[in-house]
Structure 1
């Protein structure tokens, strides 16, 4: 697996402790967390404007799906990973090829998902 140093990442996660855990994992493998947001509206704004190389998206943001953020990232050709505690059954077909990691996950799981998202 390659070094992810300097990879700029957006985190969209509504659980504060989970967001901090993901941020720590990302920083531990050399990534730069550009932004960490917890709501759909914030995520859409950031996904539209910020320069990132990758995003980690919680599928369920306080009861709202993060799919509108995924659509923005897809249009901008920015790879993303779904993070979910619910499995992949609820993912729309158009996002079925994007890596999905189940909560809870390890740093190793995250690295593997990043490699898949970046097509390494």
Structure 2
């Protein structure tokens, strides 16, 4: 019997490695738990820009990412630029307005805090399936 399409819906991130950069410990933990429950492997979560860059350069595969715009008073844009250059889909999370992203990242989905984790997971799954979403 073939696998049901429904099984994919219950684990939309199954087998995917999701990079999580978030400096709010409880939110990072919640994102990690939610994505693991959906079948994902988590790279991180990390809460420092330097740690994010280490993961980015460790040679491992990243299927998608969740990036907090402001990590301990540093902007996440160097990581975002590199992900974009590698064609790795990502979303930004922030408590700030989209204007803080500037024109370079206007096409990147932005989820405002507090984060709806279900909506975040759905958005990432859609981006992995079709990065133009």
TM-score for both structures, normalised by structure 1: 0.89
12, 23, 36: which one aligns with 2:45: 36
10, 17, 23: which one aligns with 1:8: 17
How far did residue 4 of structure 1 move? 1.8
How far did residue 116 of structure 1 move? 4.2
Does 2:105 match 1:92? Answer: no
How far did residue 80 of structure 1 move? 0.9
Conservation of the 8 A alpha-carbon contact between 1:13 and 1:57 = yes
Q: Distance in 2 between matches of 1:37 and 1:4?
A: 19
The structure 1 segments of at least 4 consecutive aligned residues displaced by more than 4 Å after TM superposition are none
2:124 corresponds in structure 1 to 114
Root-mean-square deviation over aligned CA pairs: 1.7
Task: Spell out, residue by residue over 1:52-93, the C-alpha distance to the aligned partner (whole angstroms, 9 max, x if none).
Answer: 101110000011100000011111111111011113120021
Structure 2 unmatched ranges of 5 or more: 1-7
TM-score for both structures, normalised by structure 2: 0.81
Q: SS where residue 99 of structure 2 aligns?
A: coil
Q: Distance in 1 between matches of 2:17 and 2:95?
A: 24
